[in-house]
Amino acid sequence: MSKEKIKLSPPWYNYFREVKALFGDDPDINVIFDDDNNVIKLYVENHDKADALEQILPKEKAFGAVTVYIEVIPQNKEMSKVDLFRKAFEGNPAYSYSATVDGIMSNPLHYIVFRNRVVQYWSDSLNDINGNTSTLYENIARDIFDNLDNVCFNTDTPENLAKPINN
């Protein structure tokens, strides 16, 4: 093991890395962190996708005394929850499909299914010799999209890749 100094960064930097890991490979989205103002900016070329992201992403996330804000260029067009996620992840290689099924007492459950792939990004993790975190897209989505009623994040199974149950 090298004797390099262990570098730790604040948790809001790791939150930015999570957002970038989830959306960074999408050709329509450029994720930037404005360190001076603690703002994660998602520059989205597709207006429908920008609108969907604006409606599903949290506007801010608090880390103790520090608040990080998320900015997306919005367009105010009403869509269902599953349509919002579908538009937000359209063309993103992390996304597999989405489905809506009847839940308890006629409340629909929305399933957002991500590709079955391990995602690795640097997050100054002390559990990894290189400081990386290895996880699944669904775990990152659960961290980023909190407090969403009736929305479940899943990982696709190898035998069902990209076979939607119900779109």
In tens, the pLDDT along 33-43 reads 998 899 999 98
Is 72 domain-assigned? Answer: yes
8 A C-beta contact, residue 83 and residue 97: no
In tens, the pLDDT along 120-149 reads 999 887 888 888 899 999 999 999 997 788
pLDDT of residue 130: 86
Q: Which of 103, 99, 90, 85 is nearest to 156 (CA)?
A: 99
Half-sphere exposure in the Cβ direction for 89 (13 Å, CA):
25
pLDDT of residue 77: 54
Q: Which of 74, 7, 11, 6 is nearest to 38 (CA)?
A: 11
Is 118 domain-assigned? Answer: yes
8 A C-beta contact, residue 29 and residue 23: yes
Q: How many domains does the chain have?
A: 1
8 A C-beta contact, residue 162 and residue 114: no
pLDDT of residue 162: 52
The set of residues, in sequence order, having a beta carbon less than 8 Å from that of 164 and lying 6+ positions away, is 97, 98, 99
Is 167 domain-assigned? Answer: no
DSSP one-letter code for 38: T
Distance, in Å, from the CA atom of 120 to the CA atom of 7, rounded to the nearest integer, reads 18
Is 134 domain-assigned? Answer: yes
The residue with greater pLDDT, 105 or 141, is: 141
Residue 116 structural domain: 11-160
Is 165 domain-assigned? Answer: no
pTM of the prediction? Answer: 0.60
Distance, in Å, from the CA atom of 28 to the CA atom of 89, rounded to the nearest integer, reads 10
Length of the chain as a residue count: 167
